[in-house]
Amino acid sequence: MKRIMIIGATSGIGRATALLFIEKGWTVGVAGRRKEKLEELRDLAPERVFAETIDITQPDAPDRFHALIQLMHGMDVFLLCSGVGSQNAALLPSIELATIRTNVEGFARMLCTAWDYFRAQGEGHIAVVSSIAGTKGLGVAPSYSATKCFQNCYLDALAQLAHMQHLSIYFTDIRPGFVDTELLRGGIYPMLMRPERVARGIFHAILHKRRRLVIDARYRLLVFCWRLIPSWLWEWLPIHN
């Protein structure tokens, strides 16, 4: 298991994770929308880093996915880091729909593509960077928290489906807390983590085939407490950034 494709590798968590896998000697396929950022990664180790521009919201994303696999001469792990989100207390439809387009439509498109590939191959590992935001509906970010809940549930369903069909496909749901990336620029967030810290957690979770991982211990405690709050009380809580 030394070949990984990372979609969303041009910035933030995806880029930090790609850099770590490259450092560890893996064959790495990097994908995203910004060609120049992908080429920077490819130049680090041209003999084992391969790049392809992929926009997961576009219908041609599966074709580009398979083109990248051909360059890599196969794939053992698929990691999806692509995601968008922002606070939208004004509930502007354009923001809500753009978030759904990437985090639901694009997410499902790429996971179905990876599923089909690994089912035909006979084995594989699908990993996704979701978020602790999927634990409860956040009033300041309705579509973001709802789409992350969708992702968590979708992985649960695929894991069950793989078991039902006797497939050797593993799943890892990585749920970071607040990470210092472009996604959170301009806001004030507690317990902010560096992308490199999250990348190390992702690397070990994939290496050991962890089913799900909340990064880090502080956020594991936070998620535990969130789940204990009854719905009627949660709806009264004024949660801000």
Could you tell me the sign of the dihedral formed by the alpha carbons of 212, 80, 104, 177, in that order? positive
Considering the entire predicted model, what is its pTM? 0.92
Q: Specify the amino acid at residue 49.
A: V
CA atoms within 13 A on the CB side of 36: 0
Compare 132 and 96 and report the one with higher pLDDT: 96
Q: Express each pLDDT in 60-75 by its tens digit.
A: 999 999 999 999 999 9
Q: Express each pLDDT in 161-182 by its tens digit.
A: 999 999 999 999 999 877 766 6
Q: Express each pLDDT in 181-222 by its tens digit.
A: 665 555 555 666 788 999 999 999 999 999 999 987 787 888
Task: Give the residues across from 173 on adjacent strands.
Answer: 128, 212
pLDDT at residue 216, as a whole number? 76
Q: Express each pLDDT in 23-32 by its tens digit.
A: 999 999 999 9
* DSSP label of 193: B
Find, among 178, 177, 179, 175, the residue nearest to 210 by Cα.
175
Tell me what the pLDDT averaged over the chain comes to. Answer: 91
CATH superfamily of domain region 3-234:
NAD(P)-binding Rossmann-like Domain (3.40.50.720)
H helical segments located in the chain: 12-23, 35-42, 61-72, 93-100, 107-121, 142-164, 195-207, 217-228, 231-234
Compare 108 and 234 and report the one with higher pLDDT: 108
